[in-house]
Amino acid sequence: MPAPVTPFLAVFALLASAATTGYHNHTVGGAAGWFFNTTTSKPSANYSSWASTQTFNLGDFLIFNTNSNQTVIQTYNETVYRNCTADDSDNGTFIYSGGGASFSEALTVRVPLTIVGPNYYFSDAAGDGIQCRSGMAFEIKVQRGLGLPPSLNQPPPPPYAEPPGPDTAQSPPITVDQSPTGAASACRADVAVYGFAAAVLLLRFW
């Protein structure tokens, strides 16, 4: 007869299951990183082999430890990937930059996985496709897993505005930039409007 499962063991099993099914960071190429040797014309790792050992889910991140001599290009367009050339006119192709401004400057590029299905990655630093065609490329298949976390799935909320009083003329609606670069500004505006509203309420009931 099997031994009964204690509450402690049940909780431990639940936590272990959550740990194996949660969101993960995948360091591309492992310790070898994302580099290309111009002397040997070879990348520092076999990225297709590395990718074949991983399980990728929505909400995971790819971590590219690299430098400014390489690029990180993500595309959902297989033709772009096969051609090893980034297409600026393709809405499904993104060139990530860690902000490096000088030759061989160390960079860490974090790329979130936000779309289920085939995702393609390659480097095209010189615009000639040599790095990609020499093996600095890989494709993955992203599974749904736990789905996107709120941080990747929801835009920041619009700033709160107190409804106008009965004697106040209707003001035009507030337009807020919801792009990623405007997220911090939106949050600061949110705090400022909440603070102003709180001050008005305190004065009204003082």
CB 71, CB 126: distance < 8 Å: no
Dihedral of the CA atoms 194, 195, 196, 197 (nearest 10)?
A: 50
Q: pTM above the 0.85 mark? A: no
pLDDT in tens for each of the 206 residues of the chain? 555 545 444 433 433 443 456 999 999 999 999 999 999 999 999 999 999 999 999 999 999 999 999 999 999 999 999 999 987 778 889 998 755 667 889 999 999 999 999 999 999 988 899 999 999 999 999 999 999 999 998 665 565 555 665 654 544 444 333 333 333 333 333 434 334 444 444 444 45
Intra-chain end-to-end CA distance of the chain, in Å: 71
d(CA 74, CA 62): 11
* Bridge partners for 67 per DSSP: 106
CB 25, CB 113: distance < 8 Å: no
